[in-house]
Amino acid sequence: MPLSPLNGPEGTPLPVANTPEIHTARLILRRFTAADARAFCRLVSDPAVNAFLPLFPFKALDEAAAHLREHTLKNYENPLGFRYAVCLKAENVPIGYVHIADDDSHD
């Protein structure tokens, strides 16, 4: 996986991979996989989840799976980016997602 330098303490470059896995006491923040399509569909088909996003809630699994492939999984090919599946540690199934970017998108 390619690494990109970011400035750390005292300006030293730190290697950061695209969407590095993060563990907390209760959560795992990790990359989505194609196997997450059903859980992703549950998230993006919920109008409350999408209330402030520039997406319309998806109505079918195939629509959500295509969006996951084309917009999230494809993003992991870039050297730097952050698109996380938020999972409870006990189940490791996505219950939410986070997209962090320095562009003008608002999702």
What mean pLDDT value characterizes the chain? 84
- Residue 12: pLDDT band (50, 70, 90) is low
Q: What is the number of other CB atoms lying within 10 angstroms of the CB of residue 3?
A: 13
Q: Mean pLDDT throughout 65-75?
A: 93
What's the burial of 84, exposed, middle or buried (CB within 10 Å: 0-12/13-18/19+)?
A: buried
Q: Mean pLDDT throughout 17-27?
A: 92
- pLDDT of 10 reads 65
Q: Mean pLDDT throughout 5-32?
A: 79
Q: Mean pLDDT throughout 87-107?
A: 84
If one compares 53 and 39, the residue with the highest pLDDT of the two is: 39
- pLDDT of 94 reads 97
Buried b (16+ CB within 10 A) or exposed e, 30-49: bbbeeebbebbbbbbbeeee
Q: Mean pLDDT throughout 92-102?
A: 89
Tokens representing 105 are 């998108």
Give the whole-angstrom CA distance, residue 2 versus residue 63: 30
Q: Hey, what amino acid is at 40?
A: F
